[in-house]
Amino acid sequence: MEPNGTGTGVERVPMAAGPLDWSLVDGAVPLVVQILGALALAALLLSRDRRWWTRLLPLAVVTAALLTVLVKLTVDDWWQPFPDELPGDVMVWLGVAILGVCLALFRLPTLRLRGRAGALVAGALVVVLGLSEVNIHYDNYPTLRTMLGPQDTVSLKDATGGKEPTVDVPPGKALSEVWRAPARMPAKGTVSTASVPGTKSGFTARDAYVYLPPAYHTSPRPLLPVLVLMAGQPGSPQDWITSGQLPDMMDDFAARHAGLAPVVLVVDPLGSPFDNPLCMDSRLGKVQTYLAEDVPAWAAAHLQTATGRSQWAVAGLSNGGTCALQLAVNAPRRYGTFLDISGQDEPTLGSRKETVDAAFGGDEAAFEKVNPMDVMARRTFPDTSGAFVAGTDDSTYRPQALKVYAAAKKAGMKVELVQLPGGHSWQVWRPGLEKQLPWLASRTGLTP
């Protein structure tokens, strides 16, 4: 290894902006989709065939309406993959997409071969319109590139390199006050996947993602703070890499701080997209043990980072935000700082009874022993710092954030409340983390 070099031979090279990087949520692309979708819908609705107006069109509309209602009943009442119901505008646009399919299919008997091909294309454009508007609501895929998944990951072995001498930080000083970026430090960090086994917990998690900032790839190596980050439910660790655009976010932060940024472990507290083991040790799995013991033990074995509770933070969105608060109150010796983005006021499977029955066999006392609101009513946490982020338009989770913030403040935590424009979507979650990075850096000893 060359002195003060990367130590890995791996550097993420930024890709040139192109069609894959055009915005799907604002600007020209969604406008074009709206225009083409509207024209396609009009083309499907208009016909000179009398049968279309008297029989086929009403049948198509009724069929689309029934299928839309069936989707809502299936998702909200039977399947229940989400903790809250599908929003009204999302249902409207899903209905538009379904209507496009129904109109195209019901038009086919009235058309010749060329016309049938045109009807199918028009139906596809209406479907794209509906799904585009749903994507705009959630801001789930800001660009086409994010739909393709992580593009430039490197192996963890190549990213970490060997063990290096470390930078000494005198007591009372922040890392940034003594750090001097070497001349050959890479401009970008690295992203890797890693299997983090549930050695002690027995919990089977999906692969994690590991972000290592530019400063990690130097010698001597600064002992950087660690941010354990979680997505929502349903969801996966990949969500923060793609929809959350985490690598670019962290690289931008590092560029403003001489290559310094937290090491980020995007971990899985669910086990599968639609499972919800509630981020606790219960009949549903030992997720708390996994996150509070297995993950730190894995990091100690595979990475060179800071190890103290004051330099470890935990954060997440929605279900992951609730989990971050749970770990802050139930594993305070591990995590000294937390960021709860659009979390709930308590872990839930729908109702308190359903939750207690599934997790603890109906033992209410066992649930109250680990439920954050109950824990904070019994204990104080003067050495814990936290931030709550909620969307101003989030009528479900914003009131819960206000409630938990008040309880955390009463429990002696050093907490703040941040409200951002938007609802329960990436419009809030992405900036919710980005805007709190300076706060996280200060709380974890990276900056003064």
- Give residue for tokens 């979390």: 343
| Mean pLDDT of the 53-60 span | 94
Work out the number of other CB atoms within 10 angstroms of the CB of residue 69. 12
Is the pLDDT reported for residue 346 higher than 90? yes
**How far apart are alpha carbons 243 and 262 in whole angstroms?**
20
Give the phi and the psi of residue 217 in degrees, each rounded to 5.
-90, 45
pLDDT for residue 4: 38
Percent of the chain with pLDDT over 90: 85
**3-class DSSP assignment, residue 191:** strand
Token pair for residue 281? 């040790």
Cβ proximity of 126 and 99 under 8 Å: yes
Cβ proximity of 215 and 254 under 8 Å: yes
Bridge partners of 263? 226
| Mean pLDDT of the 398-425 span | 97
Which contiguous run of DSSP H or E holds residue 335?
Answer: none
Residue 153: alpha-carbon gap to chain centroid: 18
For the ranges 16-30, 147-161, 186-200, 371-385, the lowest mean pLDDT is seen at 16-30
234 upstream amide cis, omega within 30 of 0: yes
**3-class DSSP assignment, residue 122:** helix
Residue with more model confidence, 409 or 87: 409
Write down the mean pLDDT value for the chain: 93
At 346, which amino acid appears?
A: E
**How far apart are alpha carbons 381 and 413 in whole angstroms?**
5
User: Per-residue pLDDT tens for 88-121?
Assistant: 999 999 999 999 999 999 999 888 888 899 999 9
At residue 20 the predicted structure's pLDDT band, cuts being 50, 70 and 90, is confident
At residue 9 the predicted structure's pLDDT band, cuts being 50, 70 and 90, is very low
Cβ proximity of 198 and 205 under 8 Å: yes
Bridge partners of 313? 227, 337
Ordered structural domains, the chain, with CATH: 26-138 (no CATH), 151-443 (3.40.50.1820)
pLDDT for residue 83: 65
Q: At a CB cut-off of 8 Å and minimum separation 6, what does 167 contact?
A: 175, 178, 179, 220, 221, 222, 223
Give, to the nearest 10 degrees, the angle between helix 28-45 and helix 88-107: 50
Is the pLDDT reported for residue 220 higher than 90? yes
The structure's pTM equals 0.89
User: Per-residue pLDDT tens for 324-341?
Assistant: 999 999 999 999 999 999
At 243, which amino acid appears?
A: S
Residue with more model confidence, 79 or 134: 134
At 160, which amino acid appears?
A: T
